Amino acid sequence: MESAAAVLKSHKRAIWREALECAALEVFDALLGARLEPAAQDYAMLEFTAMVGLAGDLRGIMSVSCSKATAIEMTNRIQNRLYV
């Protein structure tokens, strides 16, 4: 049987995970017009990792990993938004 402290810690972790996922979805939608999806199970395909800063009600830094093709697509989308 789990202790009350373990249950509370698990509950807090679930709340933080949901908040971070929501923030990440909002940022990528706003900046790239893209929907984030869970990483492929083949982590060898994840060639690039970037640190993404969050500001506002939720502040922090998280890492995002992706393939080379995805990194190129994200760069192209950002460039197209900046120079339009």
The span from the CA of 2 to the CA of 71, in Å, is: 42
Annotated domain spans of the chain: 4-82
Mean pLDDT over each residue of the chain, to the nearest integer: 79
Over residues 45-68, mean pLDDT:
82
What is the pLDDT at residue 65?
85
- What pLDDT is recorded for position 72? 93
pTM score of the predicted model: 0.61
- Under the banding of pLDDT at 50, 70 and 90, the label for residue 8 is low
Sequence-distant (6+) residues with CB within 8 A of 43 are 65
Helix, strand and coil percent figures for the chain, each rounded to 5? 55, 15, 25
**Rg of the chain (C-alpha set):** 16
Distance between CA atoms of residues 46 and 44, nearest Å: 5
pLDDT digits (tens, 9 = 90+) for 9-50: 777 778 888 888 888 888 888 888 888 877 667 777 788 988
Residue type, 78: I
